[in-house]
Structure 1
Amino acid sequence: MESVFDVVIIGGGVVGCSQVFTLTRLGYRCLLLEKEAHLVSMASSGNSGMLHTGFDAPLGSIELACILKCQQQILPVLKSLGLPYSKIGATMVAWNSQQKEKLPQVMRKAKDANMDDVLELSLSQLYQREPHLAHGATAALWIPREAVIDPWLTPISFAHHAKSLGAKVLTSTMVQGCEQDSQGIWRVTTDRGIFRGNVVINSAGLYGDVVDKLAGVQKFRIMPRLGQYLVYGKETKSLINSSILPIPTEKTKGVIIFKSVYDNVIIGPTQEETEKRTTPVCLSQQTVNTLLDHGRVSVPSLQSHPVVHTYSGTRPATDTKDYHVIPHIDRNWLTLGGIRSTGLSSCLGVADMVGKIMKEKFCLEPSNSPNMHLPTVDISFTNHRTAMLGSEEYTVTHPITYTGKFDRKAWANL
């Protein structure tokens, strides 16, 4: 490990795993460092698993550009790797006249982002598509390209594939300092030793501002935002046929009722500002009641089914809506910060942008030849918290995966 890596990536969530996946395939010698014991353990362990199209992302934003690029790539990649996905689509529902008045604006925004397949539904079309939806809707839009995937298995497979191509991935490795030597090589000091790299990518998520500060380049502050969810059993899968979206606001997409890729109906997320960068283990009864009420008024039949699991996710929001993709060209340091709830939806788009930055901004050529072959991943689950990818064991950290793969008897032991 004393050699100089082309790229050192700090942070092993969805974004970090996508970077090591893409850059290693391009031929870069990569090292990924994750402070937790397992990959996908912080913000990424509490996302929704939804692949958003970006229909409501700010026009001209880095976020929208990355989501659109990821949309072009991710389903073929998932298919090649043998990973699950479902093109479920989404229905945005207005429940009163004020919400109805906002739908044309949503439609125009989608058209401006070249999403010409977003369609207005008549009320008869809406209830034909979603017969279990509560009565009283005033208007609706159909967004066909929205999809759901496994939010844990996808990034884990990315990192696993990168390792098969020679990338180094270290967990339980806390970064404590970052400095350049006289030749401009980064020395990344950790509690497991010092590692060297030509370029460092900060994809530390909830601690992105802290890691930037170690290198003396901090330009933003993480303002954690908590989202919480209820999970129902698979017997509810027939109650919705698409993701049921509310009208988005300036700050949030709102509470969604959707199916996971494993057919569990899920309600969430909430939108709560918090000072804590860690995620609470249990939901408060008030939060549970709020989400239950949302389900009751939107899909009344849900109230006759029990909640089998709850979970939370803390997102690395900042004071701006857009991502912070900041190449510090004079330092060979790249910041990927503030990648919030759409991190899964944009991950390969962000990685594609990073690949271009490596060559065009940092003038860094890969040490190895590209290897774009994507063999199917051999996956098996030995229990609700352990999966084998090939001969390597991984701890499952996302509730969508471990509740979705097992039945009620297994859920009772979670």
Structure 2
Amino acid sequence: MPAAPSALQGSFDVAVIGAGVIGCAIARRFTLEGARVAVIEKAPDILDGASKGNSAILHTGFDAPPGALETACIAEGYAEYLEIHDKLGLPLIRAGALVVAWTEEEEALLPALIQQARDNGVADIAPLSAAETRALEPGLGAGVRAGFRVPREYLIDPWSAPHAYLLQALANGATLLRGCEVTGGGFDGAMWRLETTRGPLSAGIVINAAGLYGDRIDARLIGHSDFTIRPRKGQFIVYDKPAAALATHILLPVPSKITKGIVVCRTAFGNLIVGPTAEDQDDRETAALVPETLAALRARGEEILPALAGQDVTAIYAGLRPASEFKDYQIRAHAGLNYVTVGAIRSTGLSSALGTARHVHRLCAEFGHQRTPLGAPVWPQVTGISEYARRDWQCPGNGGIVCHCERVTRREIEAALSGPLAAQSLAGLKRRTRVTMGRCQGFYCSAALAALTKGRLTQPMAEAEDDR
């Protein structure tokens, strides 16, 4: 790989710190509004923090707190995703959510939750009896008391959306700096000078979208933070493809004050997931899997859908959400500093990202930020990896299948290793193509992948046994 430059030339209108889903969406919004944007990411690839693990649901925000900033961002983000997904080649898989009450206490909460949904503008719902709930999902376990259906909740791809947002930003002039950590900086009243591990960078506005490290970046750049990140771990179980036939809807519990609870739903990749848990911890780097917790999670999944007891598990994984001591998002413009904090974006970040980006752009108006929006922006399309759309293995000239579990072709892998957003790690390649995500978890295709990626990743795979 070519050596990283020791200094970054020129200046930018906006520097976005963090290339998770929120940072990618913000970069896209400001680029489309005519700004010269730099995206700064300390990891070798994008989506390497909180954004790498989520439930991949496009939420209406029916259960979000009425009047909260989070709720407004979800509503605006949801609407924009529906508007642009076809242009960017993004999936939108109709499912609908079914909120199920299993106890008398949960049933008693349903009327207030339905009213909350209506207050949030999600009015196309109605209460369901136990029999009506079970008629919609015959595989539900014993003990269903009541429920209601939210028809406009969708399944989406957890990674293609942020890839598409950033790809559009790059296609329209933005700059991505990976392996570039912000170590310090200062504002002289007109411009920021950021110190990074790849040299200095100048920008008129700095937007902190650093996720799990958002409070630390605030402290590093403006001397304080108004919140403290306390990572919330979520563990998931991924069932093999046949399990996806067991549930049509996104099965949701009645949420608590702390968590939305355990979700059971299909994925865009043709599997079925159960999770997440909600476990607060201090470690910002490691989301350790806990066998006892996973066993309890699996048991709960089998209570919800008893037929899961006969299904194989493909994978288990865990992610961290950047929770804080506050329930709402922590987004604020810092007067006199040309600096915006976008912090504590928890599990709804995928749904709210486009709306959050629009909100942040409006905040920057008080800094005098005004550019001429692009008249005819480029609309690149991401490669479709959803199981519910035509895949490359079904198309001629694909070079053959390399990952047989997930049916990923050589052409898809080569495409993911090239271009302005080329994968820089095996994890990044997985998020672009689905390689190593299947039954064998890379056991059979790793040697071929090591050969294909040799010399092309900043985090190389182990060398293949030979070069034949």
TM-score, length-scaled by structure 1: 0.93
Aligned mate of 1:147, from 111, 129, 154: 154
- CA drift of 1:220 comes to 1.0
Report the Cα distance in structure 2 between the residues aligned to 1:312 and 1:407, rounded to whole angstroms. 17
In the alignment, does 2:415 pair up with 1:388?
yes
Aligned mate of 1:261, from 244, 268, 271: 268
For 1:209-224, list aligned pairs within 5 A: 209-215=215-221, 216-224=223-231
* Contact kept? 1:163, 1:169, Cα under 8 Å: yes
Compared CA separation, residues 186 and 375, structure 1 to 2 (3 A): same
In the alignment, does 2:186 pair up with 1:186?
no
- Structure 2: runs of 5+ lacking an equivalent: 1-7, 385-391, 393-407, 447-468
Residue aligning to 1:122: 129
For 1:289-300, list aligned pairs within 5 A: 289-300=295-306
The one-letter amino acid of 1:363's match is G
* Contact kept? 2:314, 2:438, Cα under 8 Å: no
RMSD: 2.3
Residue aligning to 1:339: 345
Compared CA separation, residues 119 and 372, structure 1 to 2 (3 A): farther
Aligned mate of 1:374, from 362, 371, 379: 379
Aligned mate of 2:210, from 193, 197, 204: 204
Aligned mate of 2:172, from 153, 165, 172: 165
Which whole-Å deviations, capped at 9, do the CAs of 1:102-149 have from their partners, x for residues lacking one?
A: 101100101111211122123232222111111220001101111121
Report the Cα distance in structure 1 between the residues aligned to 2:429 and 2:117, rounded to whole angstroms. 31
Compared CA separation, residues 72 and 412, structure 1 to 2 (3 A): same
For residue 388 of structure 1, give the secondary structure of its aligned residue in structure 2: helix
* Contact kept? 2:74, 2:352, Cα under 8 Å: yes
The one-letter amino acid of 1:88's match is A
The one-letter amino acid of 1:175's match is V
Residue aligning to 1:356: 362
* Contact kept? 1:123, 1:138, Cα under 8 Å: yes
Compared CA separation, residues 108 and 100, structure 1 to 2 (3 A): same
Residue aligning to 2:106: 99
* Contact kept? 1:20, 1:30, Cα under 8 Å: yes
* Contact kept? 1:311, 1:399, Cα under 8 Å: no
Report the Cα distance in structure 1 between the residues aligned to 2:417 and 2:336, rounded to whole angstroms. 41
Q: Structure 1 or 2: larger strand share? A: 1
The one-letter amino acid of 1:223's match is R
* Contact kept? 1:25, 1:371, Cα under 8 Å: no
Report the Cα distance in structure 2 between the residues aligned to 1:310 and 1:298, rounded to whole angstroms. 18
Residue aligning to 2:439: 408
* Contact kept? 1:45, 1:397, Cα under 8 Å: no
Residue aligning to 2:118: 111
Report the Cα distance in structure 1 between the residues aligned to 2:25 and 2:438, rounded to whole angstroms. 30
Report the Cα distance in structure 1 between the residues aligned to 2:431 and 2:144, rounded to whole angstroms. 29
Aligned-pair identity (%): 36
Higher relative contact order (CA 8 A, sep 6+): 1
The one-letter amino acid of 2:93's match is S
Report the Cα distance in structure 2 between the residues aligned to 1:92 and 1:184, rounded to whole angstroms. 51
- CA drift of 1:249 comes to 0.5
Q: Is the deviation greater in 79-88 or in 285-294?
A: 79-88
Which whole-Å deviations, capped at 9, do the CAs of 1:128-171 have from their partners, x for residues lacking one?
A: 21111112200011011111211111111211121111100011
For 1:28-39, list aligned pairs within 5 A: 28-39=35-46
Compared CA separation, residues 154 and 384, structure 1 to 2 (3 A): farther
- CA drift of 1:371 comes to 4.1
For residue 264 of structure 2, give the secondary structure of its aligned residue in structure 1: strand
Q: Work out the number of aligned pairs and report it.
A: 411
- CA drift of 1:52 comes to 1.5
Which whole-Å deviations, capped at 9, do the CAs of 1:160-186 have from their partners, x for residues lacking one?
A: 1211111000110011002013x5210
Residue aligning to 1:174: 181
* Contact kept? 1:226, 1:271, Cα under 8 Å: yes
- CA drift of 1:385 comes to 10
TM-score, length-scaled by structure 2: 0.83
Residue aligning to 2:389: none
Aligned mate of 1:69, from 68, 72, 76: 76
Which whole-Å deviations, capped at 9, do the CAs of 1:12-58 have from their partners, x for residues lacking one?
A: 10100111111111111000000000000011011111111111111
Q: Is the deviation greater in 377-386 or in 116-125?
A: 377-386
The one-letter amino acid of 1:36's match is A
For 1:298-313, list aligned pairs within 5 A: 298-313=304-319
Higher Cα Rg, which structure? 2
Which whole-Å deviations, capped at 9, do the CAs of 1:376-404 have from their partners, x for residues lacking one?
A: 33567557995735942325449787659
